[in-house]
Structure 1
Amino acid sequence: ADKLRPGNVRLTNEHSSAEEFEAAEKTVRSFMRKWSISGASLAIAKNGSLVYAKGFGLIDTLSGEEVQPYNKFRTASISKLITAIAVMKLQEEGRLSLDDKVFGPEGILNDDYFSNPVDKRVYDITVAHLLSHKGGWTLRWGDQMFMPLTIADKMGLKPPVPTRTIIRYALDKRLHFTPGKGKAYSNLGYSILGLVVEKVTSMPYEDYCRKYILAPIGIFDMQMARNLPSEKAPYEVTYYEPSDIVPKPSIYGTNELVSPCYGGNDIEALGAAGAWLATAPDLVRLALSVDGFDTRRDILSENTIDFMTDISNGLAPIGWKTTYPNGTWWRTGSYPGTAGMMKRQADGTVWVVLLNSSAWNGPEIHSFINSMMTRVISQVKDWPSGDLLEHSLPVPLFADLTDYQSKAGLLQEP
């Protein structure tokens, strides 16, 4: 049982403490000071091996506890990559087709609750449309996933409202464009895909992803985020927003004004569009399983990875935010109190940065994260030769020994 102590099964900052990282780490600290970031986690892989994983700053400014590589962060829209992988896996297995209709009598979500949409074009929405943000919704009247009190009021329900209710609310309005004929970033579309996964697999979305996407690649402690500080996951960081942030009415309908990151928005309803919690090393592990390089076995076929990233096909990027023909792909995420970025570079470098604070410039922080990481990587002349993913077994801390042994078996590389 000694093996299950956190120090033995978890990567810590000690594993990436070496003189050759000092200049790069100064760059990280300077970035954090500039943008008032309380805590950050970085992980870098080269040619399929995790060569660096380190936490910076504090998990929580009150406790003064330092961030470690095993601390979990809200990943916001990086979650969309996990959802896209799940859908493409089901497509590979023949359990759904990207051309399948989502709504209507012949659709995957053919429940009565979703019948009779105001706009009959809803019946033309396919799985592919949702994956590629072509479902027909824009943010013209705001993001449906961020107006829970309005929706509760319109639907005559007590807040908070679940994802299904938000979708029904959207179906009671006209689409903004004909499905497939336009493109607009849509959290709603990816939240719907979460329900598609549930219907096709007869499993809760989170359970399906954990068992069939994450566990086979050696990720065991990613989970969905909750809204309130009292519901934090083990080893999850605390989130911070700029001091001048405007509080929002609680999604629980209590009339209190609360922080947007703790009860002012509903991360749980976002679900498949933005609710995953993860460590930076686990997200690197995820990226390495769909990076298309031959250094590690991918969880999806080469054809599927090409389909998700080849922008000439009219649907890509799928799951990723941007995929360039030169082999540079990235995925970003931001939510009040957090920001994250994952990048796959053509030279075989994969990196992840997670922050537990929002900067005043919101989503624009990602271009600054990218610049910082370009500098960080250039400042390290000599990368370690080992693989930190081999160094520790990423098993849940609440596992019993039998569970630990069976899951450890999954970690054997082919």
Structure 2
Amino acid sequence: MTGMATPQYSRRGFLAGVALGAPALLRGQQAASDIPRSFIQKEDVPGLSVAMARNGQVVFEQGFGWADRASGEQVTPQHRFRIASVSKPITSVALFTLIEEGRLKLHDFVFGSRGVLGTEFGKPPYHPHIEDIRIVDLMTHTCGGWTNDGHDPMFQHPQMNHADLIRWTLANQPLVNAPGEKYAYSNFGYCLLGRVIEKLTKQPYTQYVHTAVLDRCGITSMQVAGNTLAERAAHEVVYYQAGDSPYGMNVRRMDSHGGWLATAADLVRFALHVDGKSAARSILKPESLREMTTGSQANAGYAKGWAINKVPNWWHTGSLPGTATLLVRTESGFCWAALANTRSKDLAGAMDRMMLQLSEQFSKA
């Protein structure tokens, strides 16, 4: 803003050598800090939080820019951001804990007399193929419809709660394809998976995720975000977006597909507990991790809550008005997260390149 002082960055050094004052490592941290600092200036990002771990240890955690331009509050590592679709890996891990306990199978049906949700959200006759949807179809975005296009159910009827929205969608939005045939990214599918968790556990989605996933990762600061600026949580940033209001959505209803608040370090800590690099810290069995990161026949590049490649690296991005997020786990031993309080057309790609450049600084260490 005009006349406002340039924001500083907030950091906590995590390399042991830095704590001991080793000059070379200190210079490395300073050089690393220049990368996200340059990024927010070039991309016109108000605020950014970054965390990175290598070989199980956090090596970088810093905040840059504005958490709240109006008050002059600067981003620190403790600031929380809406993480949007980076919520999906968290929901996936929660589902795999139920699978490991024998309470759920990937090929269980979702709706109708055979389904986990039964007829709770409407009785037959349904539109064609709805009773054929299985849990795995929702997790891999191959349920046959309800895509994140202009007709995404999750951005319609914001006054409806989960139950009313699901009933409305089943009655008014037929599937386009038979389940399992084609990949089509579906926020609504992950909304349904949140309700599956609630049905099986008899707990609110957030309560089960805290108990089964986040608590086991040592994460205590995550919660589902509010909808309005007045509902801004403690240590939550303010969101900025030209054209689209960051506060005109029912974010709370997005819980299991895009509703969580987290720090960058929270997400790195979560990734470290499911990265497949340490049996001692893993909260899932090796066979669960393999299944969770295996693509479908319809899309070899998307598994069950994670995008994947042949390296294999795993990741997910998130995007909402006022929000751009990234969580990455690499085969080379890195886990990183980046959270911004705005979004733009090319920001996701620029954020990815920035984090790769940052990882190169620590590959040299």
TM score, norm. by length of structure 2? 0.89
Amino acid at match of 1:334: S
The root-mean-square deviation of aligned C-alpha atoms, in Å, is: 1.9
1:48 aligns with 2:56: yes
Equivalent position amino acid for 1:336 in 2: P
Q: Distance in 1 between matches of 2:275 and 2:131?
A: 34
Q: What are the Cα deviations for residues 163-199 of structure 1, in whole angstroms up to 9, with x where unaligned?
A: 2222212211321111111210000000000000000
Q: Deviations over 1:67-104 (max 9, x none)?
A: 11111110000000010001111011101111111110
Q: Which moved more, 1:77-86 or 1:133-142?
A: 133-142
1:169 is matched with which residue? 168
Offset at residue 106 of structure 1 (A): 2.4
String of CA shifts for 1:328-385, please: whole Å, max 9, x gaps: 11111111101110111121011110111122x1xx42221111112222234765xx
Determine which of 303, 317, 342 is the counterpart of 2:327: 342
Q: Alignment partner for residue 318 of structure 2, among 333, 339, 354?
A: 333
Q: Is the 8 A contact 1:130 1:189 kept in 2?
A: yes
The equivalences for 1:316-327 within 5 A come to 317-320=303-306, 322-327=307-312
Please list every run of 5 or more consecutive structure 2 residues that lacks an aligned counterpart in the other structure.
Answer: 1-9, 19-25
Specify the code of the residue in structure 2 equivalent to 1:221: S
Q: CA deviation at 1:132?
A: 0.5
Q: 1:105 to 1:144 in 2, by over 3 A?
A: same
The equivalent residue for 1:156 is: none
Which structure 1 residue ranges, 5 or more long, are not aligned?
A: 1-11, 149-158, 247-258, 384-414
Q: Does 1:357 align with 2:365?
A: no
Taking CA–CA contacts closer than 8 Å with sequence separation of 6 or more, which of the two structures ends up with the larger relative contact order? Answer: 1
Residues 296, 303 of structure 2: 8 Å contact kept = no
Specify the SS of the correspondent of 2:116.
coil
- Checking the alignment, whether the CA contact within 8 Å between 2:12 and 2:60 is kept in structure 1 is no
Q: Please state whether the residue corresponding to 1:226 is helix, strand or coil.
A: coil
2:4 aligned residue = none
The alpha carbon displacement at 1:212 in A equals: 1.5
Equivalent in the alignment of 2:181: 181
Matched, 1:375 2:361: no
Matched, 1:236 2:236: yes
Report the counterpart of residue 37 of structure 1 in structure 2: 45
What is the alpha-carbon distance in structure 1 between the residues aligned to residue 290 and residue 297 of structure 2? 10
- In structure 2, relative to structure 1, the CA distance for the partners of 1:208 and 1:381 (3 Å cut) is closer
Q: Distance in 2 between matches of 1:83 and 1:117?
A: 29
Q: How many residues align?
A: 342
Q: What does residue 20 of structure 1 align with?
A: 28
2:64 is aligned with 1:78? no
Q: Answer yes or no: is 1:136 the counterpart of 2:133.
A: no
Counterpart position of 2:213: 213
Could you tell which deviates more after superposition, 133-142 or 350-359?
133-142
SS at match of 1:334: strand
Quick one: which amino acid aligns to residue 121 of structure 1? Answer: H
Secondary structure, counterpart of 2:111 in structure 1: coil
Closer, same or farther: CA 26–191 of 1 in aligned 2, 3 Å: same
Q: Is the 8 A contact 1:288 1:296 kept in 2?
A: no
One-letter amino acid of the counterpart of residue 317, structure 1: A
Secondary structure of 2:317's counterpart equals strand
Summarize the alignment of residues 293-332 of structure 1 with structure 2, pairs less than 5 Å apart. Answer: 293-294=277-278, 296-311=280-295, 317-320=303-306, 322-332=307-317
Between the aligned residues of both structures, percent identity stands at: 39
Q: Distance in 1 between matches of 2:129 and 2:320?
A: 31
Q: 1:323 and 1:67 mapped to 2: Cα distance?
A: 30
In the alignment, which residue of structure 1 is the partner of 2:75? 67
Cα 1:283–1:296 change in 2 (3 A) is farther
Take 1:340 and 1:111, find their aligned partners in 2: how far apart are those partners?
A: 36
